[in-house]
Amino acid sequence: MINIAVIGAGTMGNGIAHVFAQHGYKTNLIDISGESLKKGISTISKNLDRMIAKELITDITKKLTLENISTFTVLSEGVKEVNLVIEAATENTDLKLKIFGELDNLCPPNTILASNTSSISITKIAAATKRADKVIGMHFMNPVPIMKLVEIIRGYSTSDEVTNTIMELSKNLGKTPTEVNDYPGFVANRILMPMINEAIETLYTKVAGVEEIDTVMKLGMAHPMGPLQLADFIGLDVCLSILNVMYDGFKNPKYAPCPLLVNMVMAGKLGVKSGQGFYDYSSSRKAEVVSPQFR
């Protein structure tokens, strides 16, 4: 049986740990913050309760899933005897390079190192290690327990053996792995982020309001969620980071972030996580539209 370590107990990290643990894998969840680990385990428990309420799993499955997860605040202890590490830290290049350099020194030689990055080059991440053939991208979608897709990104040196292993492992999780090549934004965000950015630009140039833009895309294009609401759900800071990675990588002005997005992130209006973005999430009522400042 493959033993797993997941780095980062935030939204993506706890979701990835949840899925592996639910499918019987011993999973180490690692974060420098003990409080973040407690919050992550609490989130997993609540999500399992929702699945029980929908009769998707049993109480026993919840018990076994939680028993499969161990938590660590020290990286060296959490990755000591694992076959696969999945990094799900903040979407920051320097941080990821630092983590992978440490993992290369701490992990057994045959351990596969994967990143859940949504835009940063796997080839660049792999260059921070001496095992570039064993570095790969596993881009899960949020919410991880529900969304079926996993983008599998091959770096320049990723081996066929490692790619095949990760493809099969993803299938074992009930996911649909899709192999893509290593270019900024990969496939999902290379298509999604320009759409979100254009929706923000449409708001910025006062073509229509928040609710109107989202309504057009939901009812006219059959999207389950409008692009501005989706941006709030992803996190406006994450959207900005991904757009910057693509703009830096391609030097194409079509990826340049809208000034409104830049200003909202600087103002701390990050979406659901901060309680306000294009919508206001500060009350328990239905999210209310916010009128952004255009200065």
Residues annotated catalytic, as ranges = 118, 139, 151, 189
Q: What is the 3-state secondary structure (H, E, C) of the chain?
A: CCCEEEECCCHHHHHHHHHHHHCCCCEEEECCCHHHHHHHHHHHHHHHHHHHHCCCCCHHHHHHHHHCEEEECCHHHHCCCCCEEEECCCCCHHHHHHHHHHHHHHCCCCCEEEECCCCCCHHHHHCCCCCHHHEEEEEECCCCCCCCEEEEEECCCCCHHHHHHHHHHHHHCCCEEEEEECCCCCCHHHHHHHHHHHHHHHHHCCCCCHHHHHHHHHHHHCCCCCHHHHHHHHCHHHHHHHHHHHHHHHCCHHHCCCHHHHHHHHCCCCEHHHCECCEECCCCCCCEECCCCCC
